A and B are shown apart, each in its own frame.
Chain A
Amino acid sequence: MNRTRSLLKYTLSRLALVPIMLWLISTLVFLLLRVAPGDPVDAILGNRADSSAREALRLKLGLNEPLLNQYLTYISNLIHGDLGQSLNNQESVSQIIARTLPASIELGLSAIVFALFIGIAVGFTGIAKPEGKTDLAGRLFGIGTYALPPFWAAMLIQILFSVILGWLPIGGRLSPSLIAPSGTGFLIFDSIRSGNLIVLTNSLRHLVLPASTLGLLLSGVFSRSLRINFEKILKTNYIEAARIRGIKENKIIVYHALPNALLPFLTIAGLTVASLIGGALLIEVTFSWPGLALSLQEAINQRDYPMVQGTIVVVSSLVVFISLFVDLLIAFVDPRIKY
């Protein structure tokens, strides 16, 4: 009962901090964007137009207002759930995020699944025969994938599988001839729901390369983490005691060692998911994946203040909630954790 109460207290205190954290983040983003040289007018007009035309556009975009007024309007709108309109095309920021976020989540989750699969397989293989050749190869794999520059790796994979072998599409989310089924924006889910097998296979084909590339790059962290945790746990007394009692090695690993080895793994996976919600920029750029990171990068280049601010606030909120969820999940599965 005490543990439940302390967990509830911890959750509430974390939730209470969310608005403060978001206010700090949004204020910081607001200020940093204004400090950066160049504004949306410079991005739109470049070296065109004279000062009066530039001022007219600045006026139209509401950039002539004093900074404090702009800030107060922004915060007030934010409190009312209004993220504003993109200065680039006057489209609602919420709509743009709603359109691009599912693409990033779909890519992030697929990559995590791939990374977990490869990471667990490599980690397991290594621990079965520590310091053996397979273990060494696994460790090299872990360090190698972690150290690979994502942009370079993505380009190589793209050239190999799309250009040389021609197995998979170069980029995008769906072939131009196909129409995405309406719904949530998650193409796989929407196509399954609408029973559209052509869109399903096509979107999966488009997803394979970016997801596996990102997954491969992340898998090293998982395999190393699993390998190290397993090694530590297999040396603990309770595992020795299980062995002495004559329990089979497979059972010891699956029922006794694995749950404990997976706990830190869970934390890493949770944080990775949280960080991928905002998109994996270099992967999205290389594979022309129309996700949130790509949209954010373009907004930064365009100095599209509302778009950058809105995206960061939404991503921050998601990261905060996912971190909280992971914390609670760990507390649930590990009774030793105290808050």
Chain B
Amino acid sequence: MKLIKLAFRISLKFTALVLVFIQISCTPQKNNNLITIASNGKIDSLDPAQANKLLAIQLISALGDTLYRVDSNGSLEPRLAKEAPKVSKDGLEISITLRENIFFHDGTPFDSNSMAFSIKRFKDIGTLNYIINDRIIDVETPEKYLLVIKLSRPSSSIKGLLTSINLTPVSPVSYSQYQDKFLNKNLIGTGPYKLIKYSPERISIQPFEKYWDEKPNNSGINYISFNTSTSLYSAIKTGQVDVLLSNSIEDGHRLALNKSSKKGLLIEGKGPAMQIGYIAFRTNSKLLNKKEVRKAISYSLDRKLISKQVSYGLRDPLRSIIPPILQINSTPQWPKYSPEIAKELFKEAGYCKNKILSIPLTFRSNVPSDKLLALTWQEQIKRDLADCFEISLNGVESTTVYKQLSQGIHEAVILEWTGDYPDPYAYLSPLLDCKKIKNESCEQGEALIGGTFWGNIDLQESLNKSELLVGEERLKELRKAEAIAANGLPVIPVWILNPRAWVQTNLTKPEFDGSGRLRIEKISLNNE
């Protein structure tokens, strides 16, 4: 009995101690004026040459500037460049006049040499350097503020590429020791903010006093990372963070935040949708080598229902593989949901008469929305076409899926794509490009890496031709290429996802640029 009392007394004292500690230390967390932005995932590197993750790209865009930026209308807006790029008659040279009186965060001036240094550095060590290596052969600096880019072939899409965050200029002085390696923990750029402190989970930036353009509307940003969607959701709901970015937020939380913003508890901002979700078919498989079958499957997909069930309508159904902001077509190209047409096509292909087409559908097991899409489509098919078509589900971790795509292991697989730069070519080429085509089958090229094994000579010609053209003529070729893809059906688009950000009600509405990046510098307190 004495022992019980002793244990009880100790427990009581301990509990009291904990409660006292919590009460004493329950001081407000924010003791400076910086705005706290939360998102999922660490930022392992702030080097523009290394950047390949959305979050790093977001931060780099605050610390550096690019030559051009896509504005919210989808137009090319000169930033470090003074005016639009001038293309030579043969299309092999691009001349860019640069702005003067711009400084890096280390105080050194920005000029054509620093821009050339950064492009060459990305070409040499960049993780995604393949996006320029087949096009840019050299960069020259005939004048202090004139940059000349030499191309291996005419390329109209290069203008879009000049908005790429990977080509953010860095100070040659500060990076003299990092010409052939990454500088992960700092970024000496020309951007509106400079770095104050860095760790992969916590980053602080403050306005750069010598910034050449409009100064940021806030006194700085703290970035913190949380690992789960629940933590992120809880952090914004409880006011522990000021701004929440939507990457890796689960659809249920996305809906709850959307509802909160409608009730006036938070403010929501929506950027242009750049990430598309699609299903890729292995067109050289016995099951899916017939176009009629792929067409029937395409007609069987009820995008509206899937979007409603999986994302509560927050993902827009998509019947094109190019985001609307880059829209080249006013009318969608891919077949609209019609179980009747699908059934007819299945019958024509020899199914539905006691013969059911059974397709294994692979989804990335670490992407929750993929799994929900697969499950919903499976049930929808059972409802609509149970006697003709069925799918069996197969969850595989994403890195394994990417490895196996080119090995032809997956008959049909749910994937997503975000262009490396905002241009229709950055969507059509990576999904459909094929360097070696034999009987509508791709033997070498991106279509093989993407797991479709589909090649079409006409499409290839259109894609190549589009690189030589500009303006409406170029768009016409790209439209033609997309129409060929929609007819051949190596992939079927499913939905498109807008980036979103939610902020506390004491802040201004979040704004995005045309590349889907949050304009951090525009966020401010409502009364400022």
Contact = CB atoms under 8 A, between A and B. Distances in A.
A236 interface: no
Contacts of A301: 366, 397, 399
Contacts of B127: 44, 57
A321 interface: no
A51 B8 CA distance: 68
Given A42-B403, A48-B128, A170-B238, A155 B230 contact: yes
B52 interface: yes
A125 B237 CA distance: 40
Interface stretch (A20-28, A127-135, A323-331): A127-135
Given A128-B3, A129-B1, 18 more contacts: A45-B128, A47-B451, A56-B130, A124-B6, A170-B240, A171-B231, A172-B202, A174-B202, A176-B36, A176-B224, A177-B34, A177-B222, A179-B197, A198-B31, A204-B21, A250-B3, A285-B228, A288-B231
Interface stretch (B319-327, B440-448, B479-487): B440-448
Interface in B25-54: 25-27, 29-32, 34, 36, 42, 44-45, 50, 52
Given A125-B7, A176-B202, A50 B230 contact: no
Given A158-B234, A166-B238, A174-B202, A288 B227 contact: yes
A90 B181 contact: yes
A70 B403 CA distance: 20
B507 interface: no
Interface centre among B1, B202, B235, B397 (most CB of A within 10 A): B202
Contacts of A52: 130
Contacts of A46: 398, 402
30 contacts: A37-B400, A38-B400, A42-B400, A42-B402, A44-B52, A46-B398, A47-B415, A47-B450, A49-B130, A49-B446, A49-B449, A50-B433, A86-B44, A117-B14, A128-B4, A162-B240, A163-B237, A163-B238, A169-B29, A175-B29, A176-B223, A177-B29, A177-B32, A198-B31, A201-B27, A249-B2, A250-B3, A288-B201, A301-B366, A301-B399
Interface centre among A36, A128, A250 (most CB of B within 10 A): A128
A57 B36 CA distance: 36
Nearest to B221: A176
B470 interface: no
A47 B10 contact: no
B420 interface: yes
B449 A50 contact: yes
B366 to A, nearest CB: 8
List the 8 closest pairs (A to B, CB-CB), nearest first.
A53-B130, A176-B222, A128-B3, A38-B399, A38-B403, A201-B25, A89-B44, A42-B402
Contacts of A168: 22
A205 interface: yes
B227 A39 contact: no
Interface string B380-420: 00000000000000000111101111100000000101001
B117 interface: no
Q: Is the interface of A mostly helix, strand, loop or mixed?
A: helix
A170 B430 contact: no
A125 B5 CA distance: 8
Interface in A40-72: 42-54, 56-57, 60
A158 B229 CA distance: 13
Given A90-B181, A129-B1, A175-B29, A50 B7 contact: no
A89 B31 CA distance: 32
A170 B44 contact: no
Interface of A: 36-39, 42-54, 56-57, 60, 86, 88-91, 99, 117, 121-122, 124-125, 127-129, 134, 155, 158-159, 162-163, 166-179, 198, 201-202, 204-205, 208, 249-250, 253, 284-288, 290, 294, 298, 301-303
Contacts of A155: 230
Contact of A91 (B18, B184, B224): B184
Interface of B: 1-4, 6-8, 10-11, 14, 18, 21-22, 24-27, 29-32, 34, 36, 42, 44-45, 50, 52, 125, 127-130, 133, 181-182, 184, 197, 199-202, 204, 222-228, 230-231, 234-235, 237-238, 240, 366, 397-400, 402-406, 415, 417, 420, 430, 433, 435, 444-446, 448-451
B30 A177 contact: yes
Contact of B238 (A91, A162, A172, A303): A162
A51 B30 contact: no
B402 A47 contact: yes
A204 B44 CA distance: 26
A179 to B, nearest CB: 6
Given A125-B7, A128-B1, A88 B445 contact: no
A96 B403 CA distance: 27
A204 B17 CA distance: 13
B22 A163 contact: no
Nearest to B399: A38
B184 A89 contact: yes
A47 B130 contact: no
A286 B231 contact: yes
A171 B1 contact: no
A167 B125 CA distance: 47
A205 B237 CA distance: 19
Contacts of B8: 125
A39 B32 CA distance: 43
Contacts of B21: 204, 208
Nearest to B434: A50
A54 B449 contact: yes
Contact of B26 (A36, A47, A167): A167
Contacts of B25: 201-202, 204-205
A17 to B, nearest CB: 35
